Amino acid sequence: MPTRAANCSVSAEVLTRWHRIGVSAPRRAGLALGFSAALVLCWRAAEVRPLALFEAGALSSVWTFIRGMFPPDLSPGFLRVVASAVGQTLAVAVAGTALSVLIGLPLGVLSTATLWRRGVLLEGDNGGAGARALAAASRIARAMLGFIRAVPDLVWGLLFVVAVGLGPLAGALGLAVAYGGMLGRVYSDVFEDVDPRPVEALRACGATRAQVFLRAVWPQAAPSVTAYTLYSLECSVRAASVLGFVGAGGIGYEINLSMRMFEYGQVLTLVLAFVALLTVNDAFSRFLRRRLHATCAVQDSCVRRLRKRVAGRFAGRAPGVLSHPLGSALSGKAWPVALAAVVGFSFHAVGLTGVALFDAGVPGRVERFVGRMFPPDFDPSFLSSLVNPLFQTLGISVIGTLIGVALGAALALPATSTLVLAGPDAAGRRTPAERAVRRVVYQSTRLFFTMLRSIPELVWVLIFILAAGVGPFAGTLAIGLHTGGVLGKLYAETLEEVPRGPIEALRAAGASSLQILVWGAWPQARPMLTSYTVLRWEMNLRVSTVLGLVGGGGLGQVIYNNVQLGFHARLATLILVVYALVMTTDWLGDRLRRQSPSARLAGREATT
């Protein structure tokens, strides 16, 4: 009887599994069919024409471009132009970051839900008109941050170019708004994630909301706020380098100008200067983060000191002075003075002084430009004309991301040290020549990823226009190469950082590199790799909306045309379309990543 019962149980389990397979099979087939149909539509919308790259005219144009780049223009006169452009780019980045902090910090505090809408600080309030007004203001601030972040920084730069004119001032104001929205949202999230126990303790002592923020929230959040601000500066340097493509000055403006003048030797010099600038910027940012101790370890130390301070207050002792978490790094007056000098010089260089702003009539021009944008143009004929550019934008982002995934996945394997560079005690014998070859392959692939990532998508668009012509195909190829460099690096680092136990066990058993990848690294890295891919697609969609500003097709081309024609009411409509598109894809991306516990970590790293 037990055997018969066991057999019946096994049979029932088998039938249940077959039933599930039978039910899920049609659903999977439907999803596969829908995905294939969407892929075909995106392929057609992106106007992908691989054979166009091998036509005689395209090959001739590419060869002319490559031949014209050598030798690079290293004449003293042009090197002075390059130095001036690099300095202007840095000034725009520093001024834009400083303004973004001034915008993002108050909006971040106001949009923090635990300060104004829920939590221990609201317990005991009578819920009067003042509390309801503050809660409404907090929600409005949160919505403003969402709108600002959804509009790409290049669009903000273009808007300020139209409003205040060509030059670095427009770039600094564009970065200030774009990164003010980003920092405001990050600051708000950081303030909400602090340890609530010090907040509850101070509130129980009768502290006001301002006292709770200054004594409990800010000391815990300061290290993360500093780290994210430094990361914002790093991103601002990258963004300031390409804002020149819409007339906001800096090195991007010089690259665009040299491309239009067919001075390809100057283009190579500028691109090399651009890559060097980003390399130095990354190294300097890492140095500052280490110097300022803006790490989780310092944050934990700060929290521990805060808890001791609160405990001391409860014990009746006078609270000691809580040292700032960055105190060791900012000891003395040299750092504040140097920081103020750099920010002040940057403001002066971009024309952000009060006298320059009002003498040039900037406030009045901005007011008139904003007035011309309202009300937005919702004419049905205009809205119907946006359908094709909208599908082009989607097609560029999807096909470009798939190209980047294929390129990054293929090259991530030779760039993964745990697969290519075995340790001296690894199983198997390798000759010195084979180890040297593996080292060369590994370093070469890493260098190739750096090159692909360092060159912005807009520069890739200008290059591919020579081969594929103006249109969405050039934008698709540009996103594909840049994404390949970004995802390849992230894929390789993810495979390297998986737990070593299964990999070492497989290697000790004599498994090959392919077997280690399939059975050891891939199962552990799959959730993070999926999150990176989805997040990169979301970012590529934002980029796809602006590639048309330099000839890459999509909504960016329509935005550029309406700016040139002075149809500012239509420009407002296009910004709303971009906002709706970005918010929809963000929602879809959140749904796709919901099952991944590593989504938040991937979101912080996928932007590098």
Closest CA to 272 of 420, 545, 86, 480: 86
The reported pLDDT for the residue numbered 594 is 63
The reported pLDDT for the residue numbered 467 is 87
The 10s digit of each residue's pLDDT in 408-417 is 999 988 888 8
Bigger pLDDT: 591 vs 70: 70
Bigger pLDDT: 503 vs 94: 94
The reported pLDDT for the residue numbered 436 is 86
What's the rounded mean pLDDT across residues 248-269?
91
Q: Are residues 366 and 384 in the same domain?
A: no
323, part of any domain: no
Q: Are residues 301 and 442 in the same domain?
A: no
The 10s digit of each residue's pLDDT in 511-565 is 777 787 788 778 888 888 888 898 899 899 989 999 988 888 899 999 999 998 8
The 10s digit of each residue's pLDDT in 332-349 is 567 778 888 999 999 999
The 10s digit of each residue's pLDDT in 191-231 is 998 888 888 888 888 888 888 899 999 999 988 898 888 88
Bigger pLDDT: 587 vs 574: 574
Phi-psi region of 379 (alpha: psi -120 to 50; beta: other; left: phi over 0): beta
Does the N-terminal peptide bond of residue 71 adopt cis geometry, omega within 30 degrees of 0? yes
Q: Give yes or no for a contact between 184 and 287, defined as CB atoms under 8 angstroms apart.
A: no
The 10s digit of each residue's pLDDT in 159-201 is 999 888 888 999 999 999 999 999 999 999 999 988 888 888 8
107, part of any domain: yes
Quote the CA–CA distance of 587 and 187 in Å, as a whole number.
21
Bigger pLDDT: 3 vs 235: 235
State both tokens at 466: 């020579």
What's the rounded mean pLDDT across residues 55-82?
92
Residue 3 has pLDDT above 50, yes or no: no
Confidence category of residue 269, pLDDT binned at 50, 70, 90: very high
Helix (H, G, I), strand (E, B) or coil at 375: coil
Q: Is the dihedral of CA 285, 287, 293, 297 positive or negative?
A: positive
Q: Rounded to a whole number, what is the largest CA-CA distance in the chain?
A: 98
**Total domain count for the chain?**
2
96, part of any domain: yes
Closest CA to 308 of 294, 296, 322: 322
Residue 427 has pLDDT above 80, yes or no: no
Residue 600 has pLDDT above 80, yes or no: no
Torsion angle of C-alpha atoms 122, 126, 129, 135, degrees rounded to 10: 10
Taking CA atoms, 177 is separated from 91, 101, 410, in Å, by 16, 10, 38
Helix axes 129-150, 168-192, angle to 10 degrees: 130
State both tokens at 514: 């392919």
Q: Are residues 395 and 345 in the same domain?
A: no
State both tokens at 398: 């999807």
Q: Give yes or no for a contact between 476 and 396, defined as CB atoms under 8 angstroms apart.
A: yes
Q: Are residues 511 and 486 in the same domain?
A: yes
The reported pLDDT for the residue numbered 430 is 66
CB within 8 Å of 77: residues ≥ 6 apart: none
232, part of any domain: yes
The 10s digit of each residue's pLDDT in 38-50 is 889 999 999 999 9
Look at the block and give the residue holding tokens 């390798």.
430
Quote the CA–CA distance of 383 and 402 in Å, as a whole number.
29
The 10s digit of each residue's pLDDT in 384-408 is 999 999 999 999 999 999 999 999 9
Closest CA to 532 of 476, 586, 598: 598
- Vertex 177 angle, CA 256 and 136, to 5°: 155
Q: Are residues 361 and 425 in the same domain?
A: no
The reported pLDDT for the residue numbered 1 is 44
The reported pLDDT for the residue numbered 499 is 81
Q: Are residues 426 and 543 in the same domain?
A: yes
Q: Are residues 544 and 497 in the same domain?
A: yes
The reported pLDDT for the residue numbered 394 is 93
Q: Which domain holds residue 297?
A: 74-315+329-370
The reported pLDDT for the residue numbered 206 is 83
**What is the number of residues in the chain?**
608
The 10s digit of each residue's pLDDT in 277-320 is 888 887 777 777 666 654 444 444 444 444 444 334 333 333 33
Bigger pLDDT: 500 vs 379: 379
Quote the CA–CA distance of 287 and 279 in Å, as a whole number.
12
The reported pLDDT for the residue numbered 364 is 83
164, part of any domain: yes
Residue 354 has pLDDT above 80, yes or no: no
Q: Are residues 358 and 452 in the same domain?
A: no
Identity (one letter) of the amino acid at 166?
Answer: L
Quote the CA–CA distance of 202 and 209 in Å, as a whole number.
10
Residue 11 has pLDDT above 80, yes or no: no
What's the rounded mean pLDDT across residues 482-511?
84
Taking CA atoms, 294 is separated from 193, 291, 300, in Å, by 16, 8, 11
53, part of any domain: no
User: H or E stretch including 301?
Assistant: helix 296-314
CATH number, domain at 596? 1.10.3720.10
Q: Are residues 208 and 128 in the same domain?
A: yes
Taking CA atoms, 494 is separated from 63, 191, 525, in Å, by 37, 29, 6
User: H or E stretch including 522?
Assistant: helix 522-544
The reported pLDDT for the residue numbered 586 is 81
Residue 91 has pLDDT above 90, yes or no: yes
Q: Are residues 334 and 392 in the same domain?
A: no
403, part of any domain: yes
The reported pLDDT for the residue numbered 120 is 79
Distance of CA 385 to the CA centre of its chain: 30
pTM of the complete model beyond 0.85: no
Closest CA to 158 of 547, 480, 585: 547
The reported pLDDT for the residue numbered 338 is 84
Confidence category of residue 18, pLDDT binned at 50, 70, 90: very low
Quote the CA–CA distance of 349 and 185 in Å, as a whole number.
29
Taking CA atoms, 329 is separated from 44, 302, 323, 339, 512, in Å, by 55, 14, 12, 13, 48
Q: Average model confidence (pLDDT) for the chain?
A: 81
Q: Are residues 433 and 365 in the same domain?
A: no
Q: Are residues 357 and 397 in the same domain?
A: no
The reported pLDDT for the residue numbered 124 is 62
Radius of gyration of the chain (CA): 27
Quote the CA–CA distance of 482 and 316 in Å, as a whole number.
60
210, part of any domain: yes
Closest CA to 135 of 121, 149, 151, 154: 121
